[in-house]
Amino acid sequence: MQDDIAAALTQEVKEEVIENYLYERRLVEGQINYVKELAEHAAQLQGKLSWRFARVYDLLPEARFLNEFVRLIEVEGAPFKDRFGKVPEYRKGVRFIKVHGFTDRGRFKKLVSESYRRLLAWNDQYKEGYEDLEQECKAVNDNLKKFEDDYDLLTILNFLRDMDVEGIQRKHFLGDNFTPEEIGSIETSLRFKPIRIEQFKLIPPPSLPKIAAIQRQLNALADSVYGQCCDRVKVLIK
């Protein structure tokens, strides 16, 4: 009789441990899913930012002008340049910019400035999304470490193997966390992997100068482009 009571108490303790473990595990999984949502949002912002870079590149029809622009904004290489086989593809995702002025040259200079201003705005949005993702990755990894410190996975696996798996599934302890096959698998198959922002294949947001800091040089660049490639850039002025 005493043995039966002890066994029942032991079973009850094990079930409580498993219930707490799986509850905490579902919380961690929810956080990981949230990180993935943030990563998807950041990827969308990155795509929109790439279109704004492409629009500026479209206004600089020769490599020497593009190189001058890259030097002006002080970045390494031309961001996203390799993503566009044909630069005009960006036009499907951005609004055309209408500019006013007495001459095509003046309107073109305004077009270059406004294109860069909108690029800056999207870069700020992307930077915010990227930094939110970066911070959440760190928070999740901290929670993962605490979760692993709080629960010894080998002990949890031993508890699960010793228990009536179908019974605890009926009690909704397991939910969708594990299948019986997974319970019998090796420890590493159930251990969470740390979240690395690199796995989402996002580029770090570039640090770009404000337009006021480069306005004079940007105007001079636009003036040179128009003076030497006016026939090619006139079609871009709306």
Half-sphere exposure in the Cβ direction for 91 (13 Å, CA): 9
Structural domains of the chain, count: 1
Asked if 56 and 87 count as a contact pair (C-beta separation under 8 A), the reply is no
Question: Side chain identity at 198, as an amino acid letter?
Answer: E
The model carries a pTM of: 0.80
Average pLDDT, integer, range 173-192: 55
Question: What's the full length of the chain, in residues?
Answer: 238
Most confident range, picked from 8-17, 27-36, 77-86, 129-138: 129-138
Average pLDDT, integer, range 38-66: 93
CA-based nearest residue to 219, from 81, 77, 80, 59 = 59
- Higher local confidence (pLDDT), 134 or 229: 134
Domain span holding position 67:
2-236
- The model's pLDDT over 168-178, given as tens digits with 9 standing for 90+, comes to 543 444 444 55
SS3 state of residue 74:
coil
Q: How confident is the model at residue 7 (pLDDT cuts 50, 70, 90)?
A: very low
Spatial separation of the C-alpha atoms in residues 237 and 101, rounded to whole Å? 11
Helix, strand, coil distribution of the chain in percent, nearest 5: 75, 0, 25
Model confidence at 64: pLDDT above 80: yes
Spatial separation of the C-alpha atoms in residues 210 and 190, rounded to whole Å? 48
- Other residues' Cβ atoms within 10 Å of the Cβ of residue 190: 16
Lowest mean pLDDT of 119-123, 189-193, 234-238, name the range: 189-193
Average pLDDT, integer, range 132-139: 96
Region class of 202: left (phi > 0), else alpha (psi between -120 and 50), else beta: beta
Average pLDDT, integer, range 3-14: 51
Model confidence at 26: pLDDT above 80: yes
Model confidence at 2: pLDDT above 50: no
CA-based nearest residue to 90, from 236, 238, 212 = 236
Question: Side chain identity at 231, as an amino acid letter?
Answer: D
Measured over all CA atoms, what is the biggest interatomic distance in the chain, rounded to whole angstroms? 101
Q: What is the DSSP letter of 204?
A: P
Model confidence at 8: pLDDT above 90: no
Half-sphere exposure in the Cβ direction for 221 (13 Å, CA): 26
Lowest mean pLDDT of 63-67, 116-120, 179-183, name the range: 179-183
Model confidence at 59: pLDDT above 70: yes
Model confidence at 166: pLDDT above 70: no
